[in-house]
Amino acid sequence: MGTRRLSAYTGQAHSYNQDTGAFQPYRHAIVDALPLTRGQVVLDVGCGTGLCCGLLREKVGPRGSVLGIEESAEMAAVAREHIAGEGWHNVTVVQSSAEDAQIALTADAALFCAVHDILQSPGALRNVLSTLRPGAWVAAGGGKWATWSKWPDPMMMAVNWMVGMLHAPYVRSFSGFDRPWRHLERLLHDVQVREMGFGGGYILTGQTPAHP
């Protein structure tokens, strides 16, 4: 975990929800893009303080389950406190990097919400996707550099300046930020990518291969 991420994901863990409150509509949009049915099992990869856990639980219902994976001990502790306070007995959080997480179940879907660093790790993606059933749905979303040619250069520069300022505390490296999904799309079928926020954000959906 890089130095830049340490302050945002450790010392500021208790203020993370407030600091990133403006992103909540985007979290809703990314979760909404993930096809889930009642009773399914879903992974929340890089779950942070659990801001998507409740949204996912609403979709899978009390008979489904949500498993969060979070590297930061401080963020995981905040998530567990919130989960306990809500009484969500079917939501759990594993403190581990996505590369090393030992997931002792077969999941029906996975969410990667605002986790650019994880998406840039092929090892993390292979580890997570290896636990999904064939044909499982995957959704990912977050920030990206705006590259749409239809926007005038000054507007693109303004969008990218704002995107950079918003994401800098939470991104170890902006490498791959023009196409954050480039590693993930190689592992999925039927990939669809929708850009949003004048090209400064995206939502991807796809499925694991039907046959291993």
**Reported confidence tier of residue 149, pLDDT bands at 50, 70, 90:** low
pLDDT at position 17: 65
Contacts (Cβ under 8 Å, ≥6 apart) of 108: 36, 40, 41, 42, 132, 133, 136, 137
pLDDT at position 22: 73
Kindly tell me the burial class for residue 151, based on how many C-beta atoms sit within 10 Å of its own C-beta (0-12, 13-18, 19 or more): middle
Residue 100 CA to residue 121 CA, distance in Å, equals: 12
More confident residue, 202 or 4: 202
| Buried/exposed code over 125-141 (b: 16+ C-beta within 10 A; e: otherwise) | bebbbebbeeebbbbbb
pLDDT at position 2: 44
Domain spanning 3-207: which CATH class is it, in words?
A: alpha beta
Amino acid making up residue 95: Q
pLDDT, tens digit (0-9, with 9 covering 90-100), for 29-76: 999 999 999 999 999 999 999 999 999 999 999 999 999 999 999 999
More confident residue, 17 or 181: 181
The torsion angles phi and psi of 62, rounded to 5 degrees, stand at: -70, -20
pLDDT, tens digit (0-9, with 9 covering 90-100), for 151-202: 567 777 888 788 778 778 888 888 999 999 999 999 999 999 999 888 889 9
Would you list the domain boundaries of the chain?
Answer: 3-207
